[in-house]
């Protein structure tokens, strides 16, 4: 035995074995056990105890801890009791041929022994878990009363953990079934009180009983389509004066149990989207990247940084990270080298507008894959500096694409934006030109029949939650300052994705385009789901902070800024589009501009932008992008 407690448990079990035999004899023959069956009794007690002393060690009953007794422990008890009863019969038969030994005693002993061995174990666990308490109200004093949303395994684990922790900070007063299948039942003696739709009535009933729930706790982990549920719960929680939290992940939950401290976590902004997760073809994505030399431009940005993280995890032969921002590049370089110390990395400061520098970088790195994420993306700033936006987004893309082609890169992937569709901003129009140039280069490989030429693929998607310069960090800063939250227009809508989801689908689209050379000249568009009203996002973020929109924090409408649209689109009406075989990916076929024509136009555009001739640059942009609806161009067109 490894401890005094184990020895005590062993002595207890051996004693209970003898008691079980005596009690079984009494149940079978009554007081005659001291008369006619005295010899059988005096033989059976020591024999059964001796058998138990040996068998309990063999079955390892003392490797478990009574505090955590469970079904596997009960199974071992049943097996050990069965072996003891059989061994007792066998030894008694050899000793006395079972003379004056009632045949039903071993069966009765089996039931009694299981009760005497198992009962104390589970009674001790119930006592330690706090499920046997003589002052239940005292045990709950000081705990925060919470309502769980979701009557599944997660709710069961959470309630068990709280019950077994005398210092737990929460008290579960009831469960709300988000699926409506278990109403009226109980989980660990906690009642399932109703559905989400009846939440107001549930809270009112509890308050009439003197129970004031303070939090709603979403128990289930991230599921497809849960965004609508979270948005509904946020609204109901606000109406009822509750806050909304969710359980930590399974790993975090286990860590919290080990430390004896269980903390709920807030609902994240990303949870509001709740879009079904696309099925990823991880084999194809791995085949695209693993063992290849990969270069990422804009590697220090939100999308470029996530691209480098996911690409590094796929085992490339070499990863070259290119950016013109020194601090951002330093940060991502330190992160990647720390996570993947064995990965060959190159870190290059380079402005994509410098054509000669870009070519030298490509010649040194000799990448097989290029992901071009470097761009100016902040619409109002590019409107104020249109020549800079054109040089970076359009001319920079041309420089990267030409360099990739010159060094024989197998594929280049351009990261584009929904603002390139029917653009009203210089940022969107410059990205559409970038798309058109890559399309034209891709079609050159198809037209000249050179099967080995570089593939140029474009992936288009909308806003990324939490990216630099986006609305979510702005709202977070405004909330921290006490508000107000500024929204440009009540009806403004945008498509949103998480950065992880966007990059996963960029890689999936790239893998699909790589394996389908017949898709040359197409633009791959990510399935963005339904657009989100910005004012609704603002209200939900206020609720997530435990505050009330328009009461605790105001929302102000500031009007559309230069170049902004109320609604973004991901496809032009003229673009024929269809789903690909890859989940979450559409293919579109925008108008293709002849390569010679767009090459000459870009040379003229570069000259105008570098000379600071904004009017001529915008006029050339309007020629290349007929759908470009810009205030300056419209003013020029209406002038006499």
CB-based contacts of 321: which residues, under 8 Å, 6+ apart?
296, 299, 300, 308, 329, 332, 333, 336, 345, 346, 347, 348
**3-class SS at 122?**
helix
Tell me the CA end-to-end span of the chain in Å, nearest whole number.
102
Residues linked to residue 640 through DSSP beta bridges, in sequence order: none
Digit-coded pLDDT (tens) for 222-257: 555 566 777 788 788 777 878 787 776 554 555 544
CB-based contacts of 412: which residues, under 8 Å, 6+ apart?
369, 370, 371, 372, 400, 401, 404, 438, 454, 455, 456, 457
pLDDT of residue 221: 65
pLDDT of residue 432: 94
Q: What is the mean pLDDT of the chain?
A: 82
The pLDDT of residue 108 is above 90:
no
Digit-coded pLDDT (tens) for 5-25: 777 878 888 888 888 888 888
Angstrom CA distances, 141 to 136, 168, 173, 407, stand at 9, 11, 13, 72
Query: What is the band of 133 on the pLDDT scale with cuts at 50, 70, 90?
Result: very low
Residue 50: count of CB within 10 angstroms of its CB: 17
> What mean pLDDT is predicted for residues 583-596?
85
The three-state (H, E, C) secondary structure of 485-531, written as one string: EEECCCCCEECEECHHHHHHHHHHHHHHHHHCHHHCCCEEEECCCCC
Q: How far apart are CA 55 and CA 46, in angstroms?
A: 14
pLDDT of residue 445: 61
> What mean pLDDT is predicted for residues 621-631?
85
pLDDT of residue 398: 97
Residue 27's Cβ-count burial label (10 Å; 0-12, 13-18, 19+) is middle
Higher pLDDT among residues 624 and 34, named by residue: 624
Torsion of Cα atoms, 385 then 390 then 395 then 398, to 10°: 140
What fold is seen in the domain 136-267?
Rossmann fold (3.40.50)
- What contacts 24+ positions apart, CB below 8 Å, involve 280-283? 280/504, 280/508, 280/583, 281/508, 281/511, 281/512, 281/582
pLDDT of residue 300: 94
Higher pLDDT among residues 29 and 285, named by residue: 285
Higher pLDDT among residues 625 and 115, named by residue: 625
Highest mean pLDDT, choosing among 22-26, 381-385, 539-543: 381-385
pLDDT of residue 85: 85
**3-class SS at 451?**
coil
Per-domain residue ranges for the chain?
4-129, 136-267, 282-463+496-527+569-631
The pLDDT of residue 309 is above 50:
yes
Residue 323 host element (H or E) = strand 318-323
Q: Are 228 and 200 in contact (CB under 8 A)?
A: no
pLDDT of residue 507: 93
The pLDDT of residue 359 is above 90:
yes
Query: What is the band of 450 on the pLDDT scale with cuts at 50, 70, 90?
Result: very low
pLDDT of residue 1: 45
Residue 261: count of CB within 10 angstroms of its CB: 12
The DSSP bridge pattern shows strands 190-195 and 186-187 to be antiparallel
Highest mean pLDDT, choosing among 218-227, 336-345, 442-451: 336-345
Of the chain, the percentage scoring pLDDT greater than 90 comes to: 30
The pLDDT of residue 27 is above 50:
yes
Query: What is the band of 75 on the pLDDT scale with cuts at 50, 70, 90?
Result: confident
> What mean pLDDT is predicted for residues 393-398?
97
> What mean pLDDT is predicted for residues 517-541?
83
> What mean pLDDT is predicted for residues 456-476?
81
The pLDDT of residue 264 is above 80:
no
N residues, the chain = 640
CATH of the domain spanning 282-463+496-527+569-631: 3.40.50.720
- Of 35-39, 426-430, 485-489, the least confident: 35-39
Sheet holding 585-589, edge to edge: 345-349, 318-323, 293-297, 369-372, 411-417, 455-461, 523-526, 585-589, 576-579
Query: What is the band of 140 on the pLDDT scale with cuts at 50, 70, 90?
Result: low
> What mean pLDDT is predicted for residues 113-141?
62
The pLDDT of residue 593 is above 50:
yes
- Of 135-139, 291-295, 384-388, 416-420, the least confident: 135-139
Write down the pTM of the prediction. Answer: 0.68
Higher pLDDT among residues 564 and 430, named by residue: 430
Phi, psi for 218 (deg, rounded to 5): -80, 120
> What mean pLDDT is predicted for residues 86-107?
78
Digit-coded pLDDT (tens) for 206-226: 888 888 888 888 887 655 556
pLDDT of residue 533: 84
Q: How far apart are CA 14 and CA 248, in angstroms?
A: 44
Angstrom CA distances, 535 to 220, 380, 417, 491, stand at 27, 19, 22, 8
Same CATH topology for 136-267 and 282-463+496-527+569-631: the answer is: yes
Q: How far apart are CA 508 and CA 525, in angstroms?
A: 11
Higher pLDDT among residues 616 and 565, named by residue: 616
Residue 296's Cβ-count burial label (10 Å; 0-12, 13-18, 19+) is buried
**3-class SS at 320?**
strand
pLDDT of residue 225: 54
- 484: preceding bond cis by omega (within 30 degrees): yes
Digit-coded pLDDT (tens) for 427-438: 999 999 999 999
Highest mean pLDDT, choosing among 102-106, 216-220, 228-232, 483-487: 483-487
Of the chain, the percentage scoring pLDDT greater than 70 comes to: 83
- Of 27-31, 79-83, 340-344, the least confident: 27-31
pLDDT of residue 194: 86
> What mean pLDDT is predicted for residues 384-409?
96
- Of 52-56, 255-259, 551-555, the least confident: 255-259
pLDDT of residue 360: 97
Query: What is the band of 483 on the pLDDT scale with cuts at 50, 70, 90?
Result: confident
């Amino acid at each position: 035995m490894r401890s005094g407690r184990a020895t005590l448990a062993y002595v207890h079990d051996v004693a209970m074995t003898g008691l079980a035999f005596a009690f079984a004899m009494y149940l079978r023959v009554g007081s005659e056990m001291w008369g006619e069956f005295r010899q059988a009794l005096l033989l059976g007690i020591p024999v059964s105890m001796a058998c138990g002393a040996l068998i309990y060690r063999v079955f390892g009953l003392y490797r478990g801890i009574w505090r955590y007794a469970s079904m596997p422990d009960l199974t071992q008890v049943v097996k050990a009791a069965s072996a003891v009863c059989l061994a007792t019969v066998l030894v008694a038969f050899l000793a006395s041929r079972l003379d004056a030994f009632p045949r039903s005693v071993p069966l009765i002993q089996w039931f009694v022994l299981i009760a005497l061995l198992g009962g104390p174990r589970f009674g001790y666990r119930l006592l330690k878990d706090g499920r046997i308490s003589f002052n239940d109200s005292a045990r709950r004093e000081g705990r925060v009363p919470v309502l769980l949303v979701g009557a599944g395994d997660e709710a069961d684990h959470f309630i068990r953990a709280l019950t077994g922790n005398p210092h737990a900070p929460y008290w579960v007063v009831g469960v709300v079934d988000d699926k409506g299948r278990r109403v009226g039942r109980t989980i660990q003696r906690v009642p399932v009180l109703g559905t989400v739709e009846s939440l107001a009535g549930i809270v009112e009933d509890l308050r009439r009983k003197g129970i004031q729930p303070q939090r709603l706790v979403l128990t289930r982990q991230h599921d497809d389509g849960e965004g609508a549920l979270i948005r509904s719960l946020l609204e109901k929680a606000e109406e009822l004066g509750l806050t909304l939290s969710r359980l930590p992940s399974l790993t975090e939950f286990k860590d919290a149990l080990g430390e004896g401290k269980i903390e709920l976590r807030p609902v994240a902004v990303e949870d509001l989207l709740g879009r079904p997760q696309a099925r990823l073809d991880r084999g194809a994505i791995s085949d695209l990247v693993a063992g290849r030399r990969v270069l990422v431009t804009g590697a220090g940005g939100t999308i470029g940084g996530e691209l480098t993280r996911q690409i590094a995890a796929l085992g490339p032969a070499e990863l070259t990270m290119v950016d013109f921002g020194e601090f951002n590049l330093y940060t991502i370089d330190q992160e990647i080298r720390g996570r993947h110390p064995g990965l060959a990395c190159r870190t290059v400061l380079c402005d994509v507008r410098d054509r000669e520098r870009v070519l030298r970088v490509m010649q040194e790195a000799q990448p097989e894959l290029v992901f071009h994420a470097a761009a100016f993306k902040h619409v109002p700033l590019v409107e104020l500096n249109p020549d800079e936006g054109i040089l970076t987004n359009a001319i920079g893309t041309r420089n990267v694409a030409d360099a990739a082609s010159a060094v024989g890169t197998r594929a280049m992937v351009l990261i584009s934006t929904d603002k390139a569709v029917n653009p009203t901003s210089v940022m969107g129009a410059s990205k559409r030109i970038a798309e058109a140039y890559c399309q034209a280069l891709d079609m050159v490989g198809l037209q000249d029949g050179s099967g080995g030429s570089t593939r140029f693929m474009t992936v288009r998607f909308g806003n990324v939650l939490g990216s630099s310069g986006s609305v979510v960090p702005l709202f977070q800063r405004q909330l921290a300052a006490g508000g107000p939250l500024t929204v440009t227009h009540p009806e403004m809508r945008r498509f949103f994705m998480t950065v992880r989801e966007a990059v996963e689908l960029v890689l999936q689209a790239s893998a699909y385009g790589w394996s389908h050379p017949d898709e040359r000249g197409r633009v791959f568009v990510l399935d963005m789901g339904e657009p989100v009203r910005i004012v609704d996002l603002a209200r939900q973020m206020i609720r997530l902070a435990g505050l009330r929109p328009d009461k605790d924090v105001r929302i102000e409408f500031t009007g559309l800024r230069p170049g902004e649209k109320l609604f973004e689109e991901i496809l032009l009406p003229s673009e024929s589009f269809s789903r690909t075989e890859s989940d979450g990916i559409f293919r579109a076929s925008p108008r293709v501009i002849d390569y010679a024509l767009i090459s000459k136009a870009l040379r003229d555009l570069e000259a105008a932008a570098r000379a600071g001739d904004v009017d001529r640059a915008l006029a050339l942009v309007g020629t290349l992008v007929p759908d470009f609806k810009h205030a300056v161009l419209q003013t020029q067109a209406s002038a006499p």
